[in-house]
Homo-oligomer: A and B are copies of this chain.
Amino acid sequence: MTRRPMEILDQVLNRQPVIVSLKGNREIRGILQGYDVHMNLVLDRAEEMVEGAMQKRGTLIVRGDNVIYISPLVG
């Protein structure tokens, strides 16, 4: 079974949280509510790791060109 990158994003929409690793050593977690072809993301109930602690961010629109990888948390 092969799976294209965008299929994985479809499978986790509104499901388990994803970890988004961003350039500049930033890491965000949240529920993926949407995305587009540029890998721009909508994350709901987002939290950002800041100096080892999670800070709540609410809803985030992340610009895709900052993304290193997206990892669905195992449920």
CA distance A37 to B20 in the complex (A): 21
- Check if A54 is an interface residue, CB within 8 A of chain B: no
Task: Find out whether the CB atom of B69 lies under 8 angstroms from the CB atom of A68.
Answer: no
Q: How many residues of A contact B (CB 8 A)?
A: 43
A24-45: which have CB < 8 Å to B? 24, 26, 28, 33-36, 39-42
Asked if B63 and A68 sit within 8 Å, CB to CB, the answer is yes
Q: Given the complex, which residues of B lie within 8 Å of A58, measured CB to CB?
A: 71-74
Residues of the B chain whose Cβ atoms lie less than 8 Å from the Cβ of A68: 22, 24, 26, 62-63, 66
Tell me whether A6 is interfacial, beta carbon within 8 Å.
yes
Closest residue of chain B to A63, judged by CB?
Answer: B67
